Structure formats: C-alpha cells, structure tokens
Structure 1
Amino acid sequence: MRIGLLRHFKVNCPHKRMMTSKEFIEWSQKYEVSKVIKKKVEMYGIKWDVCYVSDMPRAITTAKEVYDGTLKVDKLLREVDIAPFIHTGPIKLPFELWHICGRIAWLFRSRRQPESIKGTKQRINKFLDRIDWSKDNILIVFHGFMIYNFQKELRKRGFYGDKLKVIKNGVLYEYVREAVRDELEDENLTDLCG
C-alpha cells in the first residue's frame, strides 16, 4: 500500500518582515483566503485510487490540479492553526519568530494555541481510522505542519518513507507499508538478476 502526501501550492500572501501580534492575526486571516501559485507537480506516473483533501481552498485548488477523480474533502486534514504566543501591543517581532514561537507554544500545550499537540494527534488518528484502506494508492493533499505530524503516525502504522523536517509546497512525498516495500525489493532483485 502506498500513501502520497502532498502539501498545497505556495500561497500568494506576502508579509511584512516585522509584525505586531495584531498584524500577525490579520496576516493569518488573509493567508486563509489568498490564491495559490500553481506549478507542475511530479506525480511519478502513479495512478492514485482515491484523493483525500483538506477543506481549505488552497488544498482543494492543488488537489484539482493533480487528481482527475472525485475529491474526498475532509476538515480533519486542516492545518494546525497558529495564534500569537504573546500579545505585543505596538511592539513588532520578526515574522519567522511568530511562527517558531507559536509552534513551540503548541508543543508545550500553551492555552494560547487553538489546538494542543494531543488534539492534533487525535485528529490525525481519527482520519487514519476512517479512510478506505482497501485502496492501494491513496493521495492526501493538505498542509505542511500537518504533514510533518502525519508522517510520524504513518510510521507507527507500519509505513516507511523519508523523515521530513521541511515540507515543500507542491512536492509529493511517498510512504509505503512494509509488505509493499518487500515486494518492491523483490522486483528490484529480479530485475537486477534477470
């Protein structure tokens, strides 16, 4: 069994280098509704049996570009929301710091974050428990931080693939279950010997 994880196309939503907490909230709201910058995605000739996609517009637009069938839209695949880790008033902080500290606050279960690490894991496992496992090739189009966490849960369920630290927009990452891995290795040995 093969699962393809694809992060949505890059979102066309420029930002200031320095922002107050209020400006970061405003930018985040604008990001949710901004258009994406489409690009060609290498799908490696795989025939995907089913495509699950986050219900966010950027993910749906991406999925429609790479998959011809009916999309299975699921809000469980939404990105982990990020909120300012502190309220700064007029003080501005670097844009990257808002993201990094927001994710650290999520990791340490800060009440300022809309979702906890436990909530994210539960959401991923709820999704994994209800998808159609009878399909051989499952494509999932969603979001970077979710993919980062999602890959860990896939490994716990017997899949292998790259251990991702940076998830690029519009790049397909493949994970296969061990039985498939053994078959692929057998085929490669046969090709080499035969």
Structure 2
Amino acid sequence: MRIGLVRHFKVNCPHKKMMTSEEFREWSEHYERAKVIKNKVEMYGSKWDICYVSDLPRAITTAKEVYSGHLHIDKLLREVDNAPFIHTERIKLPFEVWHVCGRLAWYFKSKSQPESREGTRKRINEFLDKIDWSQENILIVFHGFMLYNFQKELKKREFTGEKIRRVKNGVLYQYVKEDPIRETSMPELGETEIS
C-alpha cells in the first residue's frame, strides 16, 4: 500500500516585514483566499486510485493539477490555524516571529491557538480511520503543518518513508506499508520440495 502526500502550491500572498497582531490576523485571512503560483509537480509516473483533498481553495487547485479523477474533499484535512500568540495594538514584530511563535504556542498548548496539539492529532486519526483502505494507492493533497504532523501518525501505523523536517510546496512525499498477506503468500527460499 502506498500513500502520497502533497502540500499545495505556493500561495501568492506577500506580507509586510513588521506587523501588529491584528495585521498578522488580517494577513492570515487574506492568505486563505489568495491565489496559488502553479508549478509542475514531479509525480514519478505514479498512478493513484483515489485522491483526498482539503476543502480550502489552494489545496483544491493543486489537487486538480496533479490528479485527473474525482476529488474527495474533506475539511478534516484543513491546515492548523496559526493565530497571534499575543495581542499587540501598536507594537510590531517581524512576520517570522508571528509565524514561528504561533506554532510554538500550539506545541506548548497555549490557549492563544484555536486548535490544541491533541486536537490536531485527533483530527488526523479521525481522517485516517475513515478513508477507503481498500485502495492500493492513495493521494492526499493538503497543507504544510498538517503534512508534517500527518507523517508522524502514518509512521505509528507502520508506514515507512522520508522523515520530513521542512515541507515544500508542490512536492510529492511517498509512504509505503507492506501487505502482510502478500508477504506470507510467497514461499520462503528452501521451502519448495523437489520430487
């Protein structure tokens, strides 16, 4: 069994270098609606039996470029919200600080974040528990931070693949799991009797 994970194309949503918390929140809302910058995704000749995709426009646009069949749209695949970790009225911080500290706040279970670490993990496993496992090759198109966390849950379910530290836009990451039925159906060397 094989699962392919693809992060959506890069989003065309420039940002100011320095922002207040409200400006970061406004930028985040704009990012949700912004157009993507399409690029060619190397799919290595893979054939996918089914494709699941987040319900956010940037993921759907990407999925239509990499998969020609029916898309199974699922809001469980949405990106983890990254809210301002503190409220500032006049004080501006670099964009990178807002972004990184929001993710750290999520990791350390800060109430500033709309979804907890446990909530994200639960959502991923809810999705994994309901998909069609009768399909041999499953493609999933969604978001960077979700993909980073998703790979960890796949490995707990005995899938093997690249350990991703930085998720790139428009890149296919593949994970495989050996089918124990197929493995046991093949005779081991030395088992065949010669008459």
If the length of structure 2 is used for normalisation, what is the TM-score? 0.91
Letter in 2 for 1:119: G
**Hey, what's the Cα distance between the residues in 2 that align with 1:97 and 1:2?**
37
Alpha-carbon deviations, 1:122-161, whole Å to 9, x = none?
Answer: 0000000000000010000000000000000000001000
Aligned partner of 1:24 in structure 2 is: 24
Runs of 4+ in 1 over 2 A off after TM superposition: none
Deviation of 1:48 (Å): 0.2
Deviation of 1:179 (Å): 3.8
Deviation of 1:89 (Å): 1.0
**Hey, what's the Cα distance between the residues in 2 that align with 1:2 and 1:132?**
13
Asked if the contact 1:21–1:88 (Cα under 8 Å) also holds between the matched residues in 2, the reply is yes
Aligned partner of 1:171 in structure 2 is: 171
Aligned partner of 2:130 in structure 1 is: 130
Give aligned-pair identity as a percent. Answer: 74
Alpha-carbon deviations, 1:22-60, whole Å to 9, x = none?
Answer: 100000000000000001000011110000000000000
**Hey, what's the Cα distance between the residues in 2 that align with 1:28 and 1:84?**
10
Deviation of 1:64 (Å): 0.3
Deviation of 1:108 (Å): 1.0
Asked if the contact 1:160–1:178 (Cα under 8 Å) also holds between the matched residues in 2, the reply is no
Deviation of 1:96 (Å): 0.6
Letter in 2 for 1:40: K
Alignment partner of 2:176: what SS? strand
Structure 2 unaligned blocks of 5 or more = 184-195
Aligned partner of 1:148 in structure 2 is: 148
Q: Does 1:99 align with 2:124?
A: no
How many residue pairs match? The answer is 183
Root-mean-square deviation (CA, aligned residues, Å) is 1.4
Asked if the contact 1:15–1:27 (Cα under 8 Å) also holds between the matched residues in 2, the reply is yes
Aligned partner of 1:187 in structure 2 is: none
**Hey, what's the Cα distance between the residues in 1 that align with 2:124 and 2:24?**
26
